[in-house]
Amino acid sequence: MSTGVTISSISDYAILGCGSVGYAVAEELVEQGKDVLIIDRDESRVESLRDQDLDARRADIREPEAAELVADRDVVLILASDVESNKQAVEHIRAADDSQFVVARASDPVSGDELSELGADIVINPSSVIAESALRALESGELEYNAGKLADLVEETATRLAIVTQDSPDPDSIASAAALQAIADHLGIESDIIYLGDVGHQENRAFVNLLGIDLVQWDEIEDHSVYDTVALVDHGTAGEMELPVDIVIDHNESESESEPEFVDIRPNMSSTSTIMTKYIQEFDMNVSEEVATALLYGIRAETLDFKRDTTPADLTAAAYLYPFANHDTLEQVESPSMSPETLDVLAEAITNRDVQGSHLISNAGIVRDREALTQAASHLLNLEGVTTTAVFGIADETIFLAGRSKDIRINIGKVLDDAYGEIGETAGHSTQASAEIPLGIFTGIEISEDTRDTLLELTEEAVKRTLFDAMGVEGGGSEGSNGS
């Protein structure tokens, strides 16, 4: 077939073998105004097709004659149920003319490979096509059902809906909450986006400020009883809120023991923003520029700009959002200025880095902004030869640790859980994770101004040794190198 010609522009088709599959394809092509020639060896079937004003001729597709009859056709679809006949038809067509575009029907992966080797440009397996179609229909039906159930729950809100993000919300959590708030507004229900910790990361603060997303700190709310419906997005537990949870939407499995009335957890998607985009589409809403920008950034942040664990659902959601998003705002969010505190933490982490092989651990000392630890861990991951980083610091008598990894052999979330899960709190996944550990747990020494320096020294050694061991680094935590 000539270069630059698309299938949609072609008008001359031939179908070899016109059973139920061939007939369905022929009907659709004729409906599109295409010129279709049908070849089949069953005389009664050919007569029946002619009675329906279709151009049908009798010939055995296993014989060279059939290839000669369709020699003037640009596209040949070989769709008999007998795969051996299809193989012979491909061979004859390729022997006669190598320029025709050939689509052939297989029955399984093995016959599919054989047809490709014989020269078929495209191989289709009806059973696989049916299975994929059934799964798409199931997914569509399930989404429609879930959207109806979600709408019913939201509309039952008598006073106000609480949409709860992660304690220190990241872009995926913030964007998902903004989307649910837009859905609630679409349904005529008032809501607040609530967080329990702080928005510390500079990129996240820029994200919230530039898009005008209104987040409310839980402790600043005077009357908590105003919330009679509670939804968690990208977040597994309501923690200290002590309110019954009605709705949970997340892309990670939750260990919470609560049993909300509505749960939509999809580990097969890389971000909660992807899930919320599906709901926006299902509700047939006019998505605002702010929400579209937030969701697109949430997907990009969670997939490292489509470089990590990206699924087809993430890509189709991003494609839907792209025309509605403000790309100037996205660029501003992705390039926020660095605060003096973050620069101080990064400088301290660079100075104190201990590198064992491709693994780096660093003590940033006493920090005021613990979110600066995550930025330092990300920046240090750019050092030559480094594939895994962990930066820890001390604040409020607690050791806060941020881990990052681009090593496919390491799940940094599991590493931190193995190292500190029994003595502190850990969270995260394969490429990024965090841990919080009570400061005195390694030493047993009571914390005071006189003992603080000693604690810092003891803590540094204990944290590094435990973490290097969990990473599987031999001799970890001993005399490392700062790379100088």
pLDDT tens digits, one per residue of 112-140: 999 999 999 999 988 887 777 777 777 77
Sorting pLDDT into bands at 50, 70 and 90, what band is 6?
very low
| The pLDDT of residue 275 is above 90 | yes
Sorting pLDDT into bands at 50, 70 and 90, what band is 292?
very high
If you average pLDDT over residues 214-226, what whole number do you get?
Answer: 88
| The pLDDT of residue 246 is above 70 | yes
What DSSP line would sit under 53-112, residue for residue?
T-EEEE--TTSHHHHHHTTT-SEEEE--S-HHHHHHHHHHHHHH-SSSEEEEE-SSHHHH
| pLDDT value of residue 202 | 64
Count Cβ atoms below 10 Å from residue 332 Cβ, excluding itself.
Answer: 14
Q: In what order do the strands lie in the sheet with 398-405?
A: 354-356, 359-366, 388-395, 398-405, 432-438, 425-428
Count Cβ atoms below 10 Å from residue 232 Cβ, excluding itself.
Answer: 30
Give the tens place of pLDDT for each residue, 344-390.
888 889 988 999 999 999 998 888 878 789 888 988 988 888 999 99
If you average pLDDT over residues 178-190, what whole number do you get?
Answer: 96
Q: What are the domain boundaries of the chain?
A: 13-124, 139-333, 340-471
Mean pLDDT of the chain: 85
- Higher model confidence: residue 319 or residue 480? 319
- The domain made up of 340-471 is a member of CATH 3.30.10.20: no
What is the rounded CA–CA span in Å between residue 66 and residue 151? 58
| The pLDDT of residue 110 is above 70 | yes
| pLDDT value of residue 1 | 39
If you average pLDDT over residues 223-235, what whole number do you get?
Answer: 90
| pLDDT value of residue 67 | 93
pTM of this prediction? 0.58
| The pLDDT of residue 242 is above 80 | no
Q: In the 8-state DSSP scheme, what is residue 235?
A: -
| The pLDDT of residue 450 is above 70 | no
| pLDDT value of residue 170 | 86
Q: Which residue has the tokens 């609560």?
A: 258
Tally: H helices and E strands in the chain: 16, 18
Is there a contact between 302 and 271 (Cβ–Cβ < 8 Å)? yes
**Residue 173, C-beta contacts closer than 8 angstroms, at least 6 positions apart:** 165, 166, 233, 234, 235, 272, 298
- Higher model confidence: residue 32 or residue 454? 32
Sorting pLDDT into bands at 50, 70 and 90, what band is 244?
confident
Domain spanning 139-333, CATH architecture: Alpha-Beta Complex (3.90)
Give the tens place of pLDDT for each residue, 32-88.
889 999 999 999 999 999 999 999 999 999 999 999 999 999 999 999 999 999 999
| pLDDT value of residue 354 | 92
Domain spanning 13-124, CATH architecture: 3-Layer(aba) Sandwich (3.40)
Is there a contact between 61 and 16 (Cβ–Cβ < 8 Å)? yes
| pLDDT value of residue 338 | 64
CA-to-CA separations, 340 to 65, 336, 337, 377, in angstroms, rounded: 80, 13, 10, 16
